[in-house]
Amino acid sequence: MSATAPGGAYAPTPRTVPARGRKRASYDREVVHAILDDGFLCHLGFVRDGAPVVLPTLYARVGERLYVHGSTGSRPLRSAGGDGGLPVCLTVTHLDGLVLARSAFHHSVNYRSVVVHGTARQVTDPAERAVALDAIVDQAVPGRSADSRPADAKELAATAVIALDLAEVSAKVRTGGPVDDPGDLELPHWSGVVPVRRAYGAPVPADDLAPGVPVPGYLAAL
Amino acid sequence: MSATAPGGAYAPTPRTVPARGRKRASYDREVVHAILDDGFLCHLGFVRDGAPVVLPTLYARVGERLYVHGSTGSRPLRSAGGDGGLPVCLTVTHLDGLVLARSAFHHSVNYRSVVVHGTARQVTDPAERAVALDAIVDQAVPGRSADSRPADAKELAATAVIALDLAEVSAKVRTGGPVDDPGDLELPHWSGVVPVRRAYGAPVPADDLAPGVPVPGYLAAL
């Protein structure tokens, strides 16, 4: 499958064209990358014994590839080590606002999401695995991997990483205010949007942190 | 399957006992309810044509049942209307902190998650569907359903709701600071936790909101 169509877009496939809300769908590579780059927590779905499983996990984007972190003991990662890899669906969602309409029916949320379908494979190359692990740390805290002790051989061996190429990908975005029926506009209910965002609190030093170790500047950038 | 074991806990099953991190797992009903009640966005996984699909959607908890909202045209909701219902995995995750250790290997996140396995079924009873839709609005904005125009018969007919009983359920929670190897404690890297939370901005009135409609008090409670 071709990862990208001309014009910097992912080629739609039957399972990346939504049954509903097609107007909100996007296959634009920059849109997809921006949504992925604004997060670090995904929900990874796979099939086990015929039933769906959805687990939260950390990820990083490196070019047209996602890396997902895990222990070598975890079930999906073991499965991804098989010959065929593991069919997965990886979803990243950012909630941007609560949309309050006059009618209960038109209530909604503003959001940005990306859904990636594909086959995840274990990363066995040690060099690629080291890059992936750094990327996963830096996806959550840009600049942090260079300011920590790198994994040693034993730690690298105890960590599994799976890779998922960005090929069958779609984004979905809702923005803007409520859309009420014309007949509801005179109702007395407040309507509008309550913005929602991810917020960071002041860093809390570890109990065993030596006095005088300053809070690194890259944390202020969060 | 029994929904609860004695002592207010969900009975563990093979698929709710994690392969990794068992110490972080909980089957306590109050723990599960508190995590579910602190959110309104879930990731719903199901199997389509043998492959996993994970979609973000809104939910509400009413007692020992979750309701998930959708249009009657959406694929999972149509499937859930079949005789056997739709096997799903519904996951709710709250990110509470970035855990920065001296070693890259021990980086982690603080989080609270709930994973529900089960069979979703369409809610066909009109009275239950109305209750569910109010609950979904109130899960995101407590008190809002009473301050909006209720759905009329046409809107109710155009809205599908699926129900998922809380029976096969587990929670997973990580709290606290980084756990570094003793040999790393003297390294110069800052270590600790950066708290993360969901934050709400000031409500933004709709463009067509009449002047003088006050921001309702229940929004301040968010």
CATH number of the domain bearing residue B51: 2.30.110.10
Amino acid at the residue A126: P
Q: How far is CA B112 from CA A139, B4, B61, B187, in A?
A: 20, 21, 17, 30
What digits encode the pLDDT tens for the residues A99-139?
999 999 999 999 999 999 999 999 998 889 999 999 999 99
Q: What pLDDT sits at residue B72?
A: 55
Q: What pLDDT sits at residue B26?
A: 95
Its domain, for residue B164, covers: 20-175
| Residues of chain A found within 8 Å of residue B144, distances taken between Cβ atoms | 100, 107
Choose, out of A66, A91, A149, A204, the residue to mutate when testing the contact with B (most B CBs < 10 Å): A149
Residue B53 domain-assigned (yes or no): yes
pLDDT digits (tens), chain B, 222 positions: 445 444 699 999 998 988 777 888 999 999 999 999 999 999 999 999 999 999 999 999 999 999 998 765 566 666 676 778 999 999 999 999 999 999 999 999 999 999 999 999 999 998 899 999 999 999 999 999 999 999 999 998 888 899 999 999 999 999 999 999 999 999 999 999 999 999 999 999 999 999 989 999 999 888
pLDDT less than 70: residues of chain A: 1-7, 71-79, 81
| Residues of chain A found within 8 Å of residue B147, distances taken between Cβ atoms | 189-190
Choose, out of A105, A137, A222, the residue to mutate when testing the contact with B (most B CBs < 10 Å): A105
User: Which candidate, A199, A197, A196, A195, places its Cα nearest to that of A222?
Assistant: A199
Residue A108 domain-assigned (yes or no): yes
Structure tokens at A140: 């959550």
What digits encode the pLDDT tens for the residues A48-66?
999 999 999 999 999 999 9
Q: What pLDDT sits at residue A209?
A: 95
With CA atoms as reference, the chain B residue closest to A157 would be B105
Residue B94 domain-assigned (yes or no): yes
Residue B37 domain-assigned (yes or no): yes
Closest partner residue to B74 among A20, A71, A149, by Cβ? A20
Q: How far is CA B73 from CA A175, A193, B5, B140, B189, in A?
A: 22, 26, 37, 23, 53
Residue A23 domain-assigned (yes or no): yes
Q: What pLDDT sits at residue A75?
A: 66
| Residues of chain A found within 8 Å of residue B214, distances taken between Cβ atoms | 190
**CA–CA distance, A200 with A220 (Å, rounded to integer):** 10
| Residues of chain B found within 8 Å of residue A50, distances taken between Cβ atoms | 47, 87
Q: Total domain count for chain A?
A: 1
| Residues of chain A found within 8 Å of residue B51, distances taken between Cβ atoms | 15, 47, 87, 89, 117
Residue B3 domain-assigned (yes or no): no
CB pairs under 8 A between A and B: 279
The string of DSSP codes covering chain B is --S-BTTTBPPP-GGGS-SS-GGGEE-BHHHHHHHHHT--EEEEEEEETTEEEEEEEEEEEETTEEEEEEETTSHHHHHHTSTT-EEEEEEEEEEEEEEE-SBGGG-EEEEEEEEEEEEEEE---HHHHHHHHHHHHHHHSTT-GGGSBPP-HHHHHHEEEEEEESSEEEEEEE-S-----GGGTTSSS--EEEEEEEEE---EE-TTPPTTPPPPHHHHT-
User: Which candidate, A151, A77, A201, places its Cα nearest to that of B193?
Assistant: A201
Closest partner residue to B43 among A91, A155, A188, by Cβ? A91
Q: What pLDDT sits at residue B7?
A: 60
Query: How would you write B106-146 as a 3-class SS string?
Result: HCEEEEEEEEEEEEEEECCCHHHHHHHHHHHHHHHCCCCHH
**CA–CA distance, A67 with A15 (Å, rounded to integer):** 22
Q: ipTM score of the complex?
A: 0.94
With CA atoms as reference, the chain A residue closest to B91 would be A54
* Beta carbons of A192 and B209 less than 8 Å apart: yes
**CA–CA distance, B69 with B65 (Å, rounded to integer):** 13
Residue A101 domain-assigned (yes or no): yes
Share of chain A residues as helix, strand and coil, in percent rounded to the nearest 5: 25, 40, 35
| Residues of chain B found within 8 Å of residue A140, distances taken between Cβ atoms | 98, 107, 109
Q: Which residues pair with A114 in a beta bridge?
A: A92, A171
With CA atoms as reference, the chain B residue closest to A77 would be B19
Sign of CA dihedral B13, B15, B16, B22: positive
Residue A74 domain-assigned (yes or no): yes
